[in-house]
Structure 1
Amino acid sequence: MPPAPRTLNIGILAHVDAGKTSLTERLLFDTGTIRRLGSVDDGSTQTDTGAIERQRGITVHSAVAAFRVGDTQVNLIDTPGHSDFVAEVERALGVLDAAVLVLSAVEGVQAQTRVLMRTLREARLPTLVFANKIDRAGARTDALIAEIRRKLTPHAASMTHVRDAGTRAATTEPRTFTDPRFRSALGELLAEHDDTLLARVVDGPEPTPADLSGALADQTAKALVHPVYFGSAISGQGVDALIAAIVAMAPEPAQNPAPDPAAPPRGTVFAVERDPSSGHKMAYLRLFEGEVTNRQWLTFASPGTRTTHTGRLTALDVVGAGTDDSRTSLAPGNIGKLRGLPDIRVGDHLGRPPARTPRFAAPTLQSVVRPREPGTTQAARLHRALTDLAEQDPLIRARTEPGGAISVLLYGEVQKEVIAATLADAYGIAAVFEPSRTVCTERLTGTGEAVVGMDRGPAPTGHWATVGLRVTPAPYGSGTAFRYETELGALPRAFHQAIEETVHEALRAGCGPHGWAVTDCAVTLVRSGFNSIFSTAGDFRALTRIVLGRAVREAGTTVHEPYRAFELEVPPDTLATVAARLTAMGALIEESGAAGETWLLRGTVAARLVAAIEQRLPGLTHGEGVWWSRPADERPVTVREPVDAPASDTAPGTAPGKPNDGLA
């Protein structure tokens, strides 16, 4: 029996306008997968298939395409480049074997490039760097390598020599081990991670080309070294060397044995889309173990919950399988497009959960959405549409607010614009979004307890149920927990389930005195009772909300807002002005120091101020400031505006009105 074909799942990552989607097209074209190069400008690319993606020329959702070189199949996963869709990128990382990070040889390392490289290095994914656009005016080579080593990774190995950079005549040729200068530079770089190689570099004998080639492959696979290739996705220069490097990372057949039919299937859903013609849901599954066949019954679990759902496949398309391919099953390492699973969502896993479950930074913005045309019919259509979109990105979490409006969680304004355009184009719904507000949370300041029960008739609330709850604060970041002090058999199972589910729903929905979600607490059922004739699960759901609200109010809460840790590189002559402005607006600068020709500031700042900082920085730093931030912790709200706001003006889960940002 011939060995299973080698399969490699590669992510293509980049900042906006680096040429990521164009490179994907070039890879498919040069390997014979497509006969005509698509164009981002005219919307004919293979991966940006959505109407919004074609109109805006940006990637919004991860897409998959495949090509083959010899006995190796490479599945390309094209990921979004805009920071508003960072959760989409992080989801894709969990199914990748390696990555190609694309940057522009003209613009160089951008803030988002640094964010992506940090993420890749934390995930320890083998990463190649492709410096695109060498045929554009202003393209750099040696200076760009120095910038990459300074800002991205000190262990960047330049693998390409470029002639006539910055002109349309730019060409590339691979560096060879016969070049003594290249051999010496590469040997010194690789020796930093290999003591045996270091001894040979220092004392001899000099490492052979085979030694260096093997060490380069080994250290690239371990994400210790990052080879850099120059080229142009438009002209095709340098792409052949990149393809060879990608294929070289694929596992050998001995390391990629045939699947064990007896192993239970295990995989992760990393993207969901709907068929534009039928509206049926399609899910992309990366399989790690076992085997999946068409018409098979499968059970998926949602991460972080006890929710499971079972369905039967009605169609299975293996990515990269041609129309004449006889494969009817999905093998480990491959990606399949599944149909017939109506409840499936992004992030669901098949079989046991992955060893490393990614933790996504929660969105920090929220907006309330209303249909432009009033009426219950339009509101219902809007809710269904947003529910569909939440299947593709569960973190937006659509929720109905008092008065019939719907709130969604967001990472940024571009994401809001994309959702609005999608509602109009795909669903025919004109929606109005209120200004975005920062998402806050409430944390308990003490312990609270409340009991409402039946005597001989229904409780004073009119419900046939008795519920007593105690709430206590829990450590930061622990989330919410539900516990019992009553006997589990004291209530029918359906009533226990109704209480527990309602507790978690009410905490998320904002049962605290200020209307924000309550987190980092434990809720204990201390008393319960029911009437065997009249009590229903609905009685317990309704009464639990009332009792929980009273217990939380008795405990008291403080409102916390999200903060971000930042790094900021500025020219030396702007340091004093920038530092003074950041401090005036409430940022805490924790560290500063020279970083080559620039100064580096590190600290934390309230997330609500980040957008204002990013808007002002170009003017404060002559356009040379580089800002990077990531989610940090949450801290008590200190702005002067009241945190209580009428429900008609402020949606639960949002921050108070805009404070003075200190940048005027």
Structure 2
Amino acid sequence: MPTAPRILNIGILAHVDAGKTSLTERLLFDTGTIRRLGSVDDGSTQTDTGAIERQRGITVHSAVAAFRVGDTQINLIDTPGHSDFIAEVERALGVLDAAVLVLSAVEGVQAQTRVLMRTLRETRLPTLVFVNKIDRAGARTDALVADIRRRLTPHAALMTHVRDAGTRAAATSPRTFDDPQFRLAMAELLAEHDDTLLARVVDGPEPTPAELSKALADQTAKALVHPVYFGSAIGGQGVDALIEAIVAMAPEPAPNPARDPATPPRGTVFAVERDPSTGRKTAYLRLFEGEVTNRQYLTFASPGTNATHTGRLTTLEVVGAGTDDSRTPLTPGNIGKLRGLPGVRVGDHLGRPPARAPRFAAPTLQSVVRPREPGTALAARLHRALTDLAEQDPLIRARTEPGGAVSVLLYGEVQKEVIAATLADAYGIEAVFEPSRTVCTERPNRTGEAVVEMDRGPAPTGHWATVGLRVTPAPYGSGTAFRYETELGALPRAFHQAVEETVHETLRAGAGPHGWAVTDCTVTLVRSGFNSIFSTAGDFRALTRIVLGHAVRDAGTTVHEPYRSFELEVPPDSIAAVATLLSSMGALIEESSAAGEAWLLRGTVAARLAAAIEQRLPGLTHGEGVWWSRPADDRPVSVREPVDGTTDDTAPESAPGKPNDRLA
């Protein structure tokens, strides 16, 4: 019986246009997986399969391709490069064994590159660096290595020599431990994390090439050092050395005794596709424990909620198995394409949740979408289409607005353009997007309570139900929780479930007086009643929305807008102009210090202003400013209680929202 291959799940990450999709094509071609190199320019790549991806030449959704090197199967996960799709990248990180970070030898270290590398280092994911496009005019080598060590990681190990960089004759050759100069440089680098090796470097005897090679592999696997390779995905230079490094230096997953089919399966769904013509959904599952077989019933849970859904797997395709036979089981370490599970969404987990569940930065923009042509049927189609897209990215959270429009959450304007193009191409819907506004949240100021009673007949609202709810503030960052003060048996289970689900849905949908989602609170069911003949779950859902709205208004809320913490690197001669810009935008500079030949500024700024600052930086810094930011705690906004749908003119434009008439 043949031995099962070693499985490595490798992510390809990069700033947009660095060439990661081209590198994926080259890896597949050089290992004999495909017979012809695809091109981003003509839309013939293996991983950018969507029409929008082919038209725009960018990766929007994570895609998987596999190749074999000896007894090792490598599953390549090509992730988006544009910052608007950073949540897609973060989801993929949770299923990877290692990563390859791609840079352009021409553009060098970009702001998004630094964001990605920082994330990789924080998660301690083993990472190789591939510097692409050495055959392009303007390609840099030594200066770029210095930038990598200064801006990405001080523990970069240069593994290749480059000749004739910036010309079509550019070529690479490996640096080997037979070279005394290379051996000394690597020994000093590796000794920073190994006291025994440090003693050998100082006192002797000198470490042998075999010892240094093993130390390099071990420290790479522990994400302590990051080997750097130069090459060209288009020309193929240096790719063979990268392939050898992936196989030799990427960590081998620990032996898993849980491969026994009797062990409950555990895995994570990191991507979902839907065929526009058939509507058939395909989920990509990374399995960590147990075994999954075709026709098996599987139960998935959605992160952050108590919701679960069970379905029967109708088609199972194991990535890289070399056959479409659904009888091939999915085993730990592998990735499977699952069909027949209509309820599955990106981020769902199979079996027990991961020990450290990923926490994705929430979108900070919101836009309302309407069909270009009016009509109830077209509005319904638009809602269904956006709901489908939300399965691929739950964080966009499509919801119906008064008047039949649909709102979506976004990370940026490029994502909005991609959604609009997808609606037109895949669903035949021409949609109009309103200008984006910053997404705020509301937090209760105090305890609020409301009750609507059903007496001998239906409640004044016309619903056969009694519901009383209390809303109390909870610690910052705790989210929302639901509790009971009534006896659990006082209502039928279906009615209890209707109340609890509606509470969470309504808080997310915008239960606050200003129309924003309400968070960091506990909602307690304090009173309930039903009529055994007339009451339905629908009565409880409808009445819960009304009562919760009254309780939240009784509690009062404070609107909070999102902030971002930033790091900004600028030339010394630009520091005054940049500081003036930041001050005019209300940014708080918390730290400033010299960083080599530049100045480093750290601080916080309202998320709605971050893009404007970033856009003006190139002009103020002669193109040398580097901006990096990440979500920070949100902060209160001064907004007057809405009376007629308007708010205080002095408040930020993006902060207030219209009163939520659905809850009035």
Residues 1:654 and 1:177: Cα distance change in structure 2 (over 3 Å)? same
Alignment of 1:308-319 (within 5 A): 308-319=308-319
In structure 2, the partner of 1:500 is 500
Q: Distance in 1 between matches of 2:50 and 2:190?
A: 43
For the residue of structure 2 that corresponds to 1:268, the secondary structure is strand
Q: Deviations over 1:178-219 (max 9, x none)?
A: 111111110000000000000011111111101100100000
Name the TM-score, length of structure 2 as normaliser: 0.95
Q: Deviations over 1:446-499 (max 9, x none)?
A: 111122213333322222222221111110000111111111112222222222
Alignment of 1:449-598 (within 5 A): 449-598=449-598
Structure 2 gaps, min length 5: 648-652, 658-664
In structure 2, the partner of 1:267 is 267
In structure 2, the partner of 1:69 is 69
For the residue of structure 1 that corresponds to 2:212, the secondary structure is helix
Contact 1:643 1:656 in 2 (8 A): no
Q: Distance in 2 between matches of 1:418 and 1:646?
A: 32
Q: Deviations over 1:233-281 (max 9, x none)?
A: 1111100000000011355699477932222211111111123553311
In structure 2, the partner of 1:10 is 10
For the residue of structure 2 that corresponds to 1:134, the secondary structure is coil
Letter aligned with residue 322 of structure 1? G
**What is the Cα deviation at residue 585 of structure 1?**
1.5
In structure 2, the partner of 1:660 is none
Residues 1:485 and 1:255: Cα distance change in structure 2 (over 3 Å)? closer
**What is the Cα deviation at residue 656 of structure 1?**
3.9
Contact 1:280 1:339 in 2 (8 A): yes
Residue 105, structure 1, aligned to residue 93, structure 2 = no
Q: Larger deviation: 33-42 or 508-517?
A: 508-517
Residues 1:253 and 1:593: Cα distance change in structure 2 (over 3 Å)? closer
Residues 1:330 and 1:416: Cα distance change in structure 2 (over 3 Å)? same
Number of aligned residue pairs: 652
In structure 2, the partner of 1:369 is 369
Residues 1:463 and 1:257: Cα distance change in structure 2 (over 3 Å)? closer
In structure 1, the partner of 2:301 is 301
Q: Distance in 2 between matches of 1:172 and 1:644?
A: 68
Q: Distance in 2 between matches of 1:457 and 1:426?
A: 49
Letter aligned with residue 62 of structure 1? S
Contact 1:61 1:80 in 2 (8 A): yes
Letter aligned with residue 154 of structure 1? P
In structure 1, the partner of 2:155 is 155
**What is the Cα deviation at residue 339 of structure 1?**
1.2
Residues 1:643 and 1:131: Cα distance change in structure 2 (over 3 Å)? farther
Q: Distance in 2 between matches of 1:204 and 1:260?
A: 48
Contact 1:270 1:347 in 2 (8 A): yes
Contact 2:513 2:641 in 1 (8 A): no
Residue 631, structure 1, aligned to residue 636, structure 2 = no
For the residue of structure 1 that corresponds to 2:481, the secondary structure is strand
Q: Distance in 1 between matches of 2:540 and 2:638?
A: 37
Letter aligned with residue 456 of structure 2? R
Residue 225, structure 1, aligned to residue 225, structure 2 = yes
Residues 1:525 and 1:642: Cα distance change in structure 2 (over 3 Å)? closer
**What is the Cα deviation at residue 533 of structure 1?**
2.5
Letter aligned with residue 422 of structure 2? T
Residues 1:643 and 1:520: Cα distance change in structure 2 (over 3 Å)? farther
Residues 1:257 and 1:478: Cα distance change in structure 2 (over 3 Å)? closer
Q: Deviations over 1:555-583 (max 9, x none)?
A: 11111000000000111011011112201
Residues 1:152 and 1:350: Cα distance change in structure 2 (over 3 Å)? same
Letter aligned with residue 283 of structure 2? A
Q: Deviations over 1:58-78 (max 9, x none)?
A: 000000101101111100000
Letter aligned with residue 223 of structure 1? A
Q: Distance in 2 between matches of 1:45 and 1:534?
A: 59
**What is the Cα deviation at residue 323 of structure 1?**
3.7
Q: Distance in 2 between matches of 1:563 and 1:343?
A: 34
Q: Distance in 2 between matches of 1:305 and 1:147?
A: 43
Alignment of 1:48-87 (within 5 A): 48-87=48-87
Letter aligned with residue 118 of structure 1? R
Q: Distance in 2 between matches of 1:150 and 1:80?
A: 25
Letter aligned with residue 231 of structure 2? G
Alignment of 1:598-617 (within 5 A): 598-617=598-617
In structure 2, the partner of 1:378 is 378
Q: Distance in 2 between matches of 1:54 and 1:577?
A: 40
Q: Distance in 2 between matches of 1:470 and 1:115?
A: 42
Letter aligned with residue 655 of structure 2? A
In structure 2, the partner of 1:662 is none
Letter aligned with residue 384 of structure 1? R
In structure 1, the partner of 2:650 is none
Q: Deviations over 1:139-190 (max 9, x none)?
A: 1111111100000000000000001111110110000101111111100000
Q: Deviations over 1:3-38 (max 9, x none)?
A: 321110000000011010000010001101111111
For the residue of structure 2 that corresponds to 1:507, the secondary structure is helix
In structure 2, the partner of 1:205 is 205
Letter aligned with residue 459 of structure 2? A
**What is the Cα deviation at residue 624 of structure 1?**
1.1
Alignment of 1:183-202 (within 5 A): 183-202=183-202
Letter aligned with residue 593 of structure 2? G
In structure 2, the partner of 1:418 is 418
**What is the Cα deviation at residue 655 of structure 1?**
3.0
Q: Distance in 1 between matches of 2:212 and 2:624?
A: 38
Contact 2:220 2:250 in 1 (8 A): no
**What is the Cα deviation at residue 94 of structure 1?**
0.7
Percent identity between the two aligned chains: 89
Residues 1:324 and 1:488: Cα distance change in structure 2 (over 3 Å)? closer
Contact 1:52 1:421 in 2 (8 A): yes
Q: Distance in 2 between matches of 1:577 and 1:464?
A: 65
Residues 1:643 and 1:223: Cα distance change in structure 2 (over 3 Å)? farther
Contact 1:6 1:250 in 2 (8 A): no
For the residue of structure 1 that corresponds to 2:259, the secondary structure is coil
Q: Distance in 2 between matches of 1:409 and 1:435?
A: 12
Q: Distance in 2 between matches of 1:443 and 1:305?
A: 19
Residues 1:10 and 1:253: Cα distance change in structure 2 (over 3 Å)? closer
Letter aligned with residue 563 of structure 1? Y
Contact 1:570 1:621 in 2 (8 A): yes
**What is the Cα deviation at residue 341 of structure 1?**
1.1
Letter aligned with residue 431 of structure 1? A
In structure 2, the partner of 1:395 is 395
**What is the Cα deviation at residue 54 of structure 1?**
0.5
For the residue of structure 1 that corresponds to 2:356, the secondary structure is coil
Q: Distance in 1 between matches of 2:71 and 2:271?
A: 27
Q: Distance in 1 between matches of 2:129 and 2:596?
A: 23
For the residue of structure 2 that corresponds to 1:298, the secondary structure is strand
Q: Distance in 2 between matches of 1:254 and 1:481?
A: 37
For the residue of structure 2 that corresponds to 1:470, the secondary structure is strand
Q: Distance in 2 between matches of 1:655 and 1:611?
A: 16
**What is the Cα deviation at residue 530 of structure 1?**
2.0
For the residue of structure 2 that corresponds to 1:293, the secondary structure is coil
Letter aligned with residue 27 of structure 2? L
Q: Distance in 2 between matches of 1:644 and 1:141?
A: 62
Q: Distance in 1 between matches of 2:150 and 2:127?
A: 17
Residues 1:257 and 1:184: Cα distance change in structure 2 (over 3 Å)? farther
Q: Distance in 1 between matches of 2:311 and 2:469?
A: 37
Q: Deviations over 1:96-138 (max 9, x none)?
A: 0000000011111000000000111111110000000111111
Letter aligned with residue 513 of structure 1? P
In structure 2, the partner of 1:650 is none
Q: Distance in 2 between matches of 1:642 and 1:477?
A: 26
For the residue of structure 1 that corresponds to 2:514, the secondary structure is coil
Contact 2:258 2:289 in 1 (8 A): no
**What is the Cα deviation at residue 644 of structure 1?**
7.2
Q: Distance in 2 between matches of 1:391 and 1:326?
A: 24
For the residue of structure 1 that corresponds to 2:599, the secondary structure is strand
For the residue of structure 1 that corresponds to 2:184, the secondary structure is helix
For the residue of structure 2 that corresponds to 1:80, the secondary structure is coil
Contact 2:291 2:331 in 1 (8 A): yes
Structure 1 gaps, min length 5: 648-652, 658-664
